[in-house]
Amino acid sequence: MEDENSPALRAGVDFRGSKNATQRILKHVKPGKHRAPLMRYVRINLPLTTRLLLLAMVAVIGAASAASALLSHEPFPFATPALWGVVGAAAVFVAVGLLTSARLWNWGLAIALASLLVYLGGLLGNAPYVWNGASVVSAAIWNLTLVGAIGYIVLFAALRYGMIVAAPDNQHFMD
């Protein structure tokens, strides 16, 4: 059992987990260096807000894909079933994310990558852009599938790197 009122722990000296508890734990410091990379010092401990932000990003991807599927401008052959697949997966992801405390961020990455793949297919096909005869709103909705996917991938990378944390996890700050 650990003593939370230990003077060593209060002073920031934590030798737990090292050999014979006599060496500092330097998880992120590379051999030969004295400090961790700069981005390791950025820590945002808002787990519920981050969880809702990740769910909102997937909801944006799903809504933009649904709106793109309902347009009369098909980006490439058989794009409509692919877009509806992204919409269905996003709807299931958001529902499970709101109703449970599961760590399902890898599934969200799959949805974002599928949306990115559909967008790239549209670039090779006939995506709804203004110069293709589509309206400005159609082009903006189509581009929102890309922006939402990239946004989720960036947040997922920050989550994996340890800069942010999503519920039910916590970074255990000791303020």
Looking at 68-77, 93-102, 106-115, 138-147, which range is the least confident one? 68-77
Which of 151, 128, 150 is CA-nearest to residue 141? 128
* Cα 57 to the center of its chain, rounded Å: 8
Mean pLDDT in residue range 9-15: 62
The packing angle between helices 47-70 and 105-124, to 10°, is 30
Confidence of residue 74 (pLDDT cuts 50, 70, 90): confident
Q: How many other β-carbons are positioned within 10 Å of the β-carbon of residue 6?
A: 11
Please give the model's pTM, rounded to 2 decimal places: 0.79
Most confident range (mean pLDDT) of 36-40, 67-71, 128-132 is 67-71
Integer Rg of the chain from CA = 22
DSSP 135-173: -HHHHHHHHHHHHHHHHHHHHHHHHHHTSB--TT-----
